[in-house]
Amino acid sequence: MKKTIKLVSVGLCLLLGLLTGCGGETASADTDGGSAGGNTSGSSSSGSSSEDGGDVIRIGFFAPLTGNSMQYGVSFQNAINMKVDELNQAGGIDGKQIEIVAFDDKNDPKEAVNIANKIVADPSIQVAIGSFSSSCSMAAAPVFDEAGILHLGPTASHPDFVNMGDKAFTIAMPMKFEGAADAEYAYKKTGGKDMAVIYLNSDYGVSHSSVFKDAYEALGGKVVAFEEFIPGQTKDFTPIITKIKQENPGALFVIADYSDGANIFKQAKNLELNCDLIGPGMLIKDEFIDVAGDAVDGLLMLSTLPIYSEEDRENEDSAKAAFVSEYQDLYGVIPDGFPANAYDCITLITNMISKVGYDAEALAGEFRQVGRYEGVSGNIAVDPDTKEVKRDLMVYTIVNGKYAVDEIVPST
C-alpha cells in the first residue's frame, strides 16, 4: 500500500516536472518578480497588524495573480512594487517605509470579498488598491465602505462603482463616457457609416456597447447589427460574423478582450467581411497583434490608456520615459496601459499620504480635490462632486503590425 502511494506521488511529480520544466524560461521571468514580492508581504499581514501607526505605512492590494487574468494583476503588482521600492529607498514617506500587502483574487468576485474582509481586519490598513475587473472591485467595495477604508480601483470603469461608497475612487473613465466618446469619434472618422457591433457579454461589454449604440444613433448613424457573445464559451465566432456580413456594414466595432478580439478579426477576414475595423483600448496587448496578424492591419484603436513602445524611453515627457525605461529594465518587457494605470494609482495615493498623512478620511477629501492630474497613463480629471473621471481619448492605428499614434482627443 505504501509502495503504491509512493509510486503514485513520484509519477505525479514527474508529470509536473515534465510539464513545467519545458517552457519555464519563457514566461516565468516576469511573474516571478511579482509574486515574490506578494508572497512575503502577503504572509506577514497577520503578524504585525497590532502595531497600528508604527513606522510602516501598510497599503492593501488585490488583483488576479493567478488564473486566466493573471497577466493583468501581475503587471499591476510590478508597477506598484516598482514605485514603492523607489520611495522606500529614498527614505519612505516622513521616514516611514511603505509596505504593500498583496492578495490574489483569481478574478473571482467571491474571493475578492474574502480578501476585502481580510484587509479590513487589519486596522493599520487605510487604503486598498484593486482589483482588475469591475466585478471584483464592486464585490469588494461594500466591505471597504462599511469599514471606512479608501478603495481605489485602477480599472474599475463600471458606471456604478464610484457610487458604492463615499471613499470608493477610480482613475478609469466610466464606460458611459468612454462609450460615448468612442461613438463620437467613430462617427466622425467613418463619416457615419453603417456600424456593426460585436460585444462581450460582461459588465464592461454590456454597458460599453449599449452606450456606444445609443450615442452612435443619436448622432444620426445606423447600427445595423448588434451581436453579443458569452466569454469563455467558444473561440468560433463565425456564426455571428456571417450574420453581420448579411447586413453589409461599413464598419465593425468589436468590444472583446485581446484573445477573443483577435479571433473575431481573423475570422472576419477569413469570411471576407470587408469594412473599417474599430476596437476599444481593451484589446491592447502585445499578444493581440501576434495572434491576429495581418487581419487587423488598419484597425483603429480608441483607447483611454496609452500604448508604449521602445521609442517611449526617449519620450519628451520625462515622467513617461522614466516609467517605461525603469519598468522595462526591471521586468524585461515594455509596459502597457494597465501597469501605467496602477503606477498612477500608487503615485497619487503616496503623494497624498505625504501631504495629509495616512488617514482614509483625509485622503478621500484630498482625492476629490485632485482636479486634473497628468499621470504616466494620460491625463486624468476627477469631478469633485461625482468622483467620476474623464480621460483623453488616444487614437492608434495598426500599421504593419505596430501601433502608430493617430491623434489625441482631449476630454471635454
Question: Binders of another protein among 46-65, rule CB under 8 A?
Answer: 65
Residue 23 in the binding site for another protein (CB under 8 A)? yes
How far apart (Å, rounded) are the C-alpha atoms in residues 128 and 346? 10
Scanning residues 170 to 229, which ones bind another protein (CB under 8 A)? 201-203, 205-207, 227-229
Q: Are strands 125-130 and 150-153 parallel, antiparallel or unpaired?
A: parallel
Binding mask 145-164 for another protein (x = CB under 8 A): -------------x-x---x
Residue 9 in the binding site for another protein (CB under 8 A)? yes
Minimal distance in Å, beta carbon 201 to another protein?
6
Q: Tell which one of 56, 219, 224, 291 touches another protein (CB under 8 A).
A: 291
Q: Cβ closer to another protein: 87 or 175?
A: 175
CA-wise closest residue to 133 among 114, 151, 107, 115 = 107
Q: Cβ closer to another protein: 105 or 344?
A: 105
Minimal distance in Å, beta carbon 118 to another protein?
4
Residue 142 in the binding site for another protein (CB under 8 A)? yes
How far apart (Å, rounded) are the C-alpha atoms in residues 24 and 393? 38
Q: Tell which one of 6, 20, 53, 86 touches another protein (CB under 8 A).
A: 20
Cell readout for 56 is 510602516
Q: Cβ closer to another protein: 71 or 124?
A: 71
How far apart (Å, rounded) are the C-alpha atoms in residues 187 and 181? 10
Q: Which amino acid is at 343?
A: Y
CA-wise closest residue to 256 among 276, 227, 298 = 227
Residue 8 in the binding site for another protein (CB under 8 A)? yes
Residue 15 in the binding site for another protein (CB under 8 A)? yes
Partners of 97 in the beta sheet?
A: 56
Q: Which amino acid is at 261?
A: G
Minimal distance in Å, beta carbon 394 to another protein?
23
Size of the site for another protein (CB under 8 A): 84
Minimal distance in Å, beta carbon 169 to another protein?
18
Region of 391 (left: φ > 0; alpha: ψ -120 to 50; beta: rest) is beta
Q: Tell which one of 6, 222, 243, 402 touches another protein (CB under 8 A).
A: 243
Q: What is the DSSP track for 141-210?
A: HHHHHHHT-EEEETT---TTGGGG-TTEEESSPPHHHHHHHHHHHHHHHHTS--EEEEEESSHHHHHHHH
Scanning residues 311 to 330, which ones bind another protein (CB under 8 A)? none
Q: How far apart are the first and last CA of the chain?
A: 73
Q: Cβ closer to another protein: 238 or 411?
A: 238
Q: Cβ closer to another protein: 9 or 309?
A: 9
CB-CB contact of 395 with 302 (8 Å): yes
Residue 24 in the binding site for another protein (CB under 8 A)? yes
Residue 232 in the binding site for another protein (CB under 8 A)? yes
CB-CB contact of 200 with 257 (8 Å): yes
Q: Tell which one of 61, 62, 103, 144 touches another protein (CB under 8 A).
A: 103
Q: Tell which one of 3, 26, 95, 311 touches another protein (CB under 8 A).
A: 26
The phi and psi torsions of 337 (rounded to 5 degrees) equal -65, -25
Minimal distance in Å, beta carbon 106 to another protein?
8
Q: Tell which one of 16, 218, 404, 408 touches another protein (CB under 8 A).
A: 16
